[in-house]
Amino acid sequence: DQQVKQNSPSLSVQEGRISILNCDYTNSMFDYFLWYKKYPAEGPTFLISISSIKDKNEDGRFTVFLNKSAKHLSLHIVPSQPGDSAVYFCAASEGNTGKLIFGQGTTLQVKP
């Protein structure tokens, strides 16, 4: 029973264009959502987060959108750069538990 799902295993985008990574969740009690980026042989690196009281959070080239009614969030990267090529994980947590539930990840390739 996967509570956090990333249905696209991979995504390929041209440099300079927008990358959109999607994530769906099933648990309506989740109230904090995060995106992590992971390079091979390294740990996940925190990118950006959003709490359920917001529907958008922006940090430089990265924007996360949250649609609570659809139980859907997305990460927009614009403009995409070759260095953005990595595996992206979305994660969710409930209340103050500190427990993160991760999606399976989406591999992003940004082509020069």
First to last CA, the chain: 38
Give the CA angle between residues 8, 9, 13 to the nearest 5°: 75
Q: Which of 30, 36, 88, 92 binds another protein (CB under 8 A)?
A: 36
Can you read off the two tokens belonging to residue 82? 């070759």
* Sequence-separated (6 or more) residues with CB below 8 Å from residue 99: 93
From the CB of 112, what's the least distance to another protein, in Å?
Answer: 27
From the CB of 14, what's the least distance to another protein, in Å?
Answer: 28
Site for another protein in 61-100 (CB under 8 A): 89, 96-100
Type of residue found at 72: H
Structure letter (DSSP) for residue 17:
S
User: How many chain residues interact with another protein (CB under 8 A)?
Assistant: 22
Site for another protein in 42-61 (CB under 8 A): 42-46, 49, 51
Binding flag, residue 10, another protein (CB under 8 A): no
Say if residues 54 and 65 touch (Cβ distance below 8 Å).
no
From the CB of 34, what's the least distance to another protein, in Å?
Answer: 6
Residues of the shown chain interacting with another protein in the complex, contacts defined by CB under 8 A:
32, 34, 36, 41-46, 49, 51, 89, 96-105
